[in-house]
Amino acid sequence: MVLWRTSLFQLTLAFFGLTLEYRGNVFTQIHEILFYGQGGYDYETIYNMPLWLRRFTYRKINEHYERKNDTTDTVDQSIKNMKAAGAVSNNKIQVPTYVTKASKK
């Protein structure tokens, strides 16, 4: 009897459950869909959503924000270039004057 009891306790997982790492990934994914979805989803809908659909939604939101960051980085870089060239001061673009006064001699 003693051997049977010790062998019973050696099994840490007697069923196929979710690991802590997997659960953390699932709840992180749910949180990011809720947060970056900007109110378009509620918790129960995302939690009960099929895995393939939740992963698809997560990827699409991720792609959207990556594209948005790329365009923001491009705009920021062009503003830095304009500041370096002297075309921008105090975050306002200086409009060039095309009409110049002729000197009076």
Per-residue model confidence as pLDDT tens digits over 40-52: 889 999 999 999 9
Residue 75 and residue 89: Cα distance in Å, rounded?
A: 16
Residue 55 and residue 103: Cα distance in Å, rounded?
A: 69
pTM over 0.75, yes/no: no
Residue 33 class from Cβ within 10 Å (0-12 exposed, 13-18 middle, 19+ buried)? Answer: buried
Among 10-14, 29-33, 62-66, the range scoring the smallest mean pLDDT is 10-14
Instruction: Give the residue from 13, 9, 47, 41 showing the smallest Cα distance to 27.
Output: 47
Beta-bridged to residue 88, according to DSSP, are 93
